[in-house]
Amino acid sequence: MTDALVLFSGGQDSTTCLAFALENFARVETIGFDYGQRHRVELDQRTKILAKIGAIKPGWAARLGKDHGVELGVLGQISATAMTHDVAIAMGADGLPNTFVPGRNLLFLTFAAAIAYRRGLRRIVGGMCETDYSGYPDCRDNTIKAMQLALNLGMDKDFVLDTPLMWLDKAETWKLAEQLGGAALIDLIVEETHTCYLGERGQRQAWGYGCGECPACRLRAAGWRKYRGEPVQA
């Protein structure tokens, strides 16, 4: 067993990654970023999840260590995206949704590595996935492999960038959570994780809170229905 830093946003994927790390690594720290995202409510949710996840399984609480909050408001300032500004979510001419924040995961991984360097943590765990995703190029496996190489050369380390969800679809991510933490983890993910791009938490759906209409909600809902063996078109 080794030590890990988890990129933990407060969403479904990163909460599953946190459970994965708590199950597999001896000491687990977390990092979260405030970059002016419209769904800043996820930052409140991550605090609640951190307070509860240790109780899901024996041993997890003892492994859960320090949480690092990093202020990256400059990313919101220099980007013009539907993730950081109050504009309608739409598909761009380049085939990418305008929720794509250029450089976001590259920056997140670089800051995570800088903290992992200081804290003596070898593994960096992230929820990037290119199986059932929004087409963000910085979620692709080759991007992560290239970042691992760049960070290791640039910091003279041997970090391992771990992406346990890379080849899972959203239904399989729910299934992995069930395998890791049973019904208690599924309940925690449904109740407390945040996915909705618009930051809505008013309406409780079977799969959790959200507007139900934005691309992130639709992906989460479809994965939930497939995981539950229900018709995907509701």
Interacting residues toward Zn ion by CB under 5 A: 196, 198, 210-211, 214, 217
Kindly state the smallest distance separating residue 41's Cβ from Zn ion, in Å.
11
Kindly state the smallest distance separating residue 15's Cβ from Zn ion, in Å.
17
Quote the CA–CA distance of 206 and 140 in Å, as a whole number: 29
Quote the CA–CA distance of 81 and 87 in Å, as a whole number: 8
Quote the CA–CA distance of 113 and 124 in Å, as a whole number: 7
Compare residues 11 and 210 and give the one whose CB is closer to Zn ion.
210
Compare residues 27 and 220 and give the one whose CB is closer to Zn ion.
220
Kindly state the smallest distance separating residue 173's Cβ from Zn ion, in Å.
17
Kindly state the smallest distance separating residue 56's Cβ from Zn ion, in Å.
26
Compare residues 10 and 210 and give the one whose CB is closer to Zn ion.
210
Distances (CA, A) of 41 to 48, 75, 194, 201, 211: 11, 18, 8, 8, 13
Compare residues 128 and 214 and give the one whose CB is closer to Zn ion.
214
Question: Which residues fall within 8 angstroms of residue 119, CB to CB, at 6 or more apart?
Answer: 5, 29, 66
The whole-angstrom distance between residue 47's C-alpha and the CA centroid of its chain comes to: 14
Could you tell me if 89 and 215 are in contact, meaning their C-beta atoms sit under 8 angstroms apart?
yes
Kindly state the smallest distance separating residue 216's Cβ from Zn ion, in Å.
6
Q: Which residues pair with 64 in a beta bridge?
A: 28
Compare residues 75 and 217 and give the one whose CB is closer to Zn ion.
217
